[in-house]
């Protein structure tokens, strides 16, 4: 389980394809602290560490993950948001994040707003996912609050700290992003549809 509070950025140093899988070599400030078999969220996707060596770690994404997330678009030198699993003895600063991407969305607008940034995103409602006004949303693993929520779109406001310390600064209009919708909202929607 994660919280959506990004710990650090990692840089893709290499990508190797093996069958339908992709192995990602990631360099980061936390790589030396990781252990093989540990779960780490990469742009919000929970992946298992397969190797650790000299400030780098390796993870593998299967075809299903590559098709349903933006990890399939990564190239060497791209940055990714990294978060280790939540400690059970620490503060719960974000919201409950599973590291399971529900679907991809698309950035439709970015506006600079007196020291912050407003991002608009849309998603395909056919998958049954919903946002709630002032509810939680995870974008590329970042826990955020959405507003201007409609059936297939929402807006988030980004403060300078989040902009500088995550991949939000790299998102452009038209880019695909990973979305994990609020788990409480997903369960409520499922119960209402029974």
Query: What's this model's pTM, rounded to 2 decimal places?
Result: 0.91
How high is the pLDDT of residue 186? 75
Structure tokens at 58: 């390796």
Question: Which segment of 81-85, 94-98, 173-177 scores lowest on mean pLDDT?
Answer: 94-98
For 168, the token pair is: 């939000």
Determine how many CB atoms are found less than 10 A away from the CB of residue 80. 28
- Tell me if 51 sits within 8 A of 74, measured CB to CB: no
Residue 51 CA from chain centroid, whole number: 22
Q: Could you give the CA distance from residue 158 to residue 145 in angstroms, rounded to a whole number?
A: 10
Is residue 128 pLDDT above 90, yes or no?
no
Contact 50, 23 (CB under 8 A): yes
Contact (CB, 8 A) for 123 and 163: no
- Confidence label for 123 from pLDDT (cuts 50, 70 and 90): very high
**CA-to-CA dists, residue 61 to 66, 111, 184, angstroms:** 6, 33, 27
Contact 80, 12 (CB under 8 A): yes
DSSP assignment, residue 69? Answer: S
Average pLDDT over residues 16-28: 97
The chain-wide mean pLDDT, for the chain, equals 94
Which band of pLDDT confidence, cut at 50, 70 and 90, is reported for residue 86?
confident
- Residue 181: pLDDT band by 50, 70, 90 thresholds? very high
């Amino acid at each position: 389980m994660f919280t959506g509070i990004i710990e650090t950025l990692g840089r893709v140093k290499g990508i190797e394809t093996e069958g339908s899988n992709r192995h990602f070599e990631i360099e980061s400030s936390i790589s030396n602290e990781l252990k093989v078999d540990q779960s780490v969220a990469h742009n919000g996707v929970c992946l298992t560490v397969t190797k650790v060596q000299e400030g780098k770690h390796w993870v593998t994404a299967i075809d299903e993950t590559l098709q349903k997330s933006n990890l399939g678009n990564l190239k060497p030198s791209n940055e990714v948001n990294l978060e280790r699993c939540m400690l059970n003895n620490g503060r719960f600063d974000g919201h409950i994040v599973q590291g399971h991407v529900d679907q991809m969305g698309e950035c439709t607008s970015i506006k600079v707003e007196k020291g912050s940034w407003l991002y608009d995103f849309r998603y395909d409602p056919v998958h049954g996912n919903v946002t709630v006004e002032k509810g939680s949303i995870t974008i590329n693993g970042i826990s955020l609050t959405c507003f201007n929520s409609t059936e297939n779109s929402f807006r988030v406001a980004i403060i300078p700290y989040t902009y500088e310390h995550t991949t939000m600064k790299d998102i452009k209009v038209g880019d695909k992003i990973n979305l994990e919708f609020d788990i409480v909202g997903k369960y409520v929607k499922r119960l209402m549809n029974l």
